[in-house]
Amino acid sequence: MSLIVHKYGGTSMGSTERIRNVAKRVAKWARAGHQMVVVPSAMSGETNRLLGLAKELAPERPDTAYYRELDMLAATGEQASSALLAIALQAEGLEAVSYAGWQVPIRTDSAYTKARIDSIDDARVRADLAAGKVVIVTGFQGVDEAGNITTLGRGGSDTSAVAVAAALKADECLIYTDVDGVYTTDPRIVPEARRLHSISFEEMLEMASLGSKVLQIRSVEFAGKYKVPLRVLSSFTPWDIPIEEEARSGTLITFEEDEDMEQAVVSGIAFNRDEAKISVLGVPDKPGIAAQILGAVADANIEVDMIIQNVGKEGRTDFSFTVHRNDYARTMDLLKEKVAPALGAQEVVGDAKICKVSIVGIGMRSHVGVASTMFRSLSEEGINIQMISTSEIKTSVVIDEKYMELAVRALHRAFGLDAE
């Protein structure tokens, strides 16, 4: 007998028919003798509907009292779907009970709309599991020390599920979603993309942070911190496939680099086109330049991703970085009007039509020449590299947006990821 946590996304909970399917699937696992905890998201569209009503009433504004009410509002979507799933499980003949975040309780800080989990009390859930019940823990939400409802941010139900699995020391946390696992890259771009049977936690973290949208990045961080075995799999397989088959499907996120792992040098290709690049040219090359530029950007609450500073010559250097495309115009204004004049920089140039393409793989640690293979295959396609950034297990390049698909396909092939 194992203790298993299932998490179902909004699409999987999108209608009463789908909720009934979820209930049948959970019932299959419970009948196989497993202790079951289920974390459902709100029915798809519900969170947007609720927040849409709020927007009709008042423009969004950075105000704690306002964010508190947004959380009161948004938290109702998950509470409703949890109760509905409990009812569906009862209709399957199981004993089932649902708990809102505050009932568990799942304790968080008070950062409304993006709260972080501090602790989870497992007593109530354990008592129910011991009594043979399926326990539904409402995702996406918690309660702060003063008893206010908080939410964990978009995709927060992934984090709820992993945190609950960690608190209960679950044997495995299964994230059911509308894709059937983690792929070497997006199959919509590269039809030859393969599903990975397993991926290391560190690779998954890079994939998530680089734009692969299978899992919320904080849930991966959480899984890493507490060593929660995590599996991403599809909720659209028939609910009655054999449990052994289901338990091996999808992609397992592992924490041990054991012998059995796929030994590819590069595990996947990630990409995103949400960024824009900005360069401050001809900056006097002296200590404190980076701090002055990025300090001003941070003060304006703009997040920076890649940062590049090249060696200078003739007493001047160029400084480049990327920001989210939504912040591009604002950042350019800030630099041109305030930062560059103060620094005595020669020019500020930028480009919003870029994309970032990354290769990710634990094998890069022990294999030389991986980056150069990447650069060569891009060059063979005639793609100019604008920026390069590396870490231990990934290499990212910024290129012209129009070459994105071409680059991803070329790299997928170059690193032997195409399905045979």
Q: Where does this chain bind a copy of itself (CB under 8 A)?
A: 16, 19-20, 23, 50, 53-54, 56-58, 63, 65-66, 68-70, 72-73, 75-77, 79-80, 82-84, 86-88, 90-91, 95-98, 100, 102-103, 147-149
**7 assigned ligand-binding residue:** yes
**10 assigned ligand-binding residue:** yes
In sequence order, what are the residues at sequence separation of 6 or more whose Cβ sits closer than 8 angstroms to the Cβ of residue 164? 5, 37, 39, 106, 120, 125, 137, 170
Q: How far is the CB of 93 from a copy of itself (least distance, A)?
A: 11
Q: Which helix (H) or strand (E) holds 202?
A: helix 201-209
Q: How far is the CB of 327 from a copy of itself (least distance, A)?
A: 26
Q: Which is nearer to a copy of itself, 57 or 311 (CB)?
A: 57
- Phi, psi torsion values for 286, nearest 5 degrees: -140, 165
Contact (CB, 8 A) for 8 and 76: no
Cβ neighbourhood burial of 146 (10 Å; 0-12, 13-18, 19+): exposed
According to DSSP H, which parts of 335-389 are helical? 340-343, 370-380
282's tokens? 């001809």
Q: How far is the CB of 5 from a copy of itself (least distance, A)?
A: 20
**333 assigned ligand-binding residue:** no
How distant, in Å, are the alpha carbons of 183, 268, 366, 367, 376 from that of 393?
A: 17, 11, 10, 10, 19
**369 assigned ligand-binding residue:** no
Q: Which is nearer to a copy of itself, 22 or 217 (CB)?
A: 22
CA distance 107 to 91: 31
Q: What interhelical angle do 156-167 and 217-226 show, nearest 10?
A: 10
Q: Which is nearer to a copy of itself, 23 or 276 (CB)?
A: 23
**55 assigned ligand-binding residue:** no
Q: How far is the CB of 233 from a copy of itself (least distance, A)?
A: 24
Q: Which is nearer to a copy of itself, 72 or 265 (CB)?
A: 72
**188 assigned ligand-binding residue:** yes
Q: Which is nearer to a copy of itself, 73 or 129 (CB)?
A: 73
**373 assigned ligand-binding residue:** no
Q: Where is the binding site for ATP, in residues?
A: 7-10, 177-178, 183, 188, 213-214
Binding-site residue numbers are 7-10, 47, 78, 177-178, 183, 188, 213-214
Residues in binding site for substrate: 47, 78
